[in-house]
Amino acid sequence: MPSGRRLPDPLGGGPSDQRGLQGNRENQQGFKSTSDGGLREWKTRFVFWYQKKMWMQKSQNLAKKISEDYAGRQVHLVCVLKGGVFFMCELAKRITVPVTMDFMSVSSYGAGTESSGVVKIVKDLDQPLDGKDVLIVEDIVDSGRTLGYLMEILRKRNPKSLHLCTLLDKPERRVTDVKVDYTGFNIPDEFVVGYGLDYAQKYRNLPYIGVVEGVE
Arithmetic mean of pLDDT, 149-168 = 94
Instruction: Examine the residue annotation and report whether 142 is marked as an active-site residue of this protein.
Output: yes
Alpha-carbon span 108 to 85, nearest angstrom: 18
Instruction: Encode pLDDT of 21-45 as tens digits.
Output: 343 444 443 333 334 444 333 344 5
Inform me whether the pLDDT recorded for 144 exceeds 90. Answer: no
Q: ∠ CA 44-83-73 to the nearest 5 degrees?
A: 155
pLDDT at 6: 30
pLDDT at 7: 28
Q: Is residue 51 part of a domain?
A: no
Arithmetic mean of pLDDT, 11-21 = 32
Beta bridge mates, 107: 120
Q: Is residue 33 part of a domain?
A: no
Domain CATH code at residue 76: 3.40.50.2020
Q: Is residue 28 part of a domain?
A: no
**Strands 161-169, 182-186: pairing kind:** parallel
Q: Tell me the pTM.
A: 0.73
Per cent of the chain over pLDDT 90 is 38
Q: What is the mean pLDDT of the chain?
A: 76
Q: Is residue 141 part of a domain?
A: yes
Instruction: Encode pLDDT of 87-119 as tens digits.
Output: 999 999 999 999 999 999 887 655 454 555 567
Instruction: Encode pLDDT of 76-90 as tens digits.
Output: 999 989 889 999 999
The one catalytic residue in 133, 142, 169, 198 is 142
Arithmetic mean of pLDDT, 147-169 = 94
The answer to whether the beta carbons of residues 121 and 104 sit under 8 Å apart is yes
Q: Is residue 99 part of a domain?
A: yes
Total count of domains within the chain: 1
Tell me which H or E stretch contains 192. strand 192-193
Contacts for 112-115: CB closer than 8 Å, 24+ residues apart:
112/200, 112/216, 113/191, 113/199, 113/215, 115/142, 115/143, 115/145, 115/146
Inform me whether the pLDDT recorded for 207 exceeds 50. Answer: yes
Contacts for 175-183: CB closer than 8 Å, 24+ residues apart:
175/143, 175/144, 175/145, 176/143, 176/144, 176/145, 176/147, 176/148, 177/144, 177/148, 178/141, 178/144, 178/147, 178/148, 178/151, 180/141, 182/62, 182/65, 182/66, 182/135
Q: Is residue 125 part of a domain?
A: yes
Under the banding of pLDDT at 50, 70 and 90, the label for residue 215 is low
Q: Is residue 16 part of a domain?
A: no
Q: Is residue 58 part of a domain?
A: no
Structural domain for 115, as ranges: 71-188
Under the banding of pLDDT at 50, 70 and 90, the label for residue 194 is confident
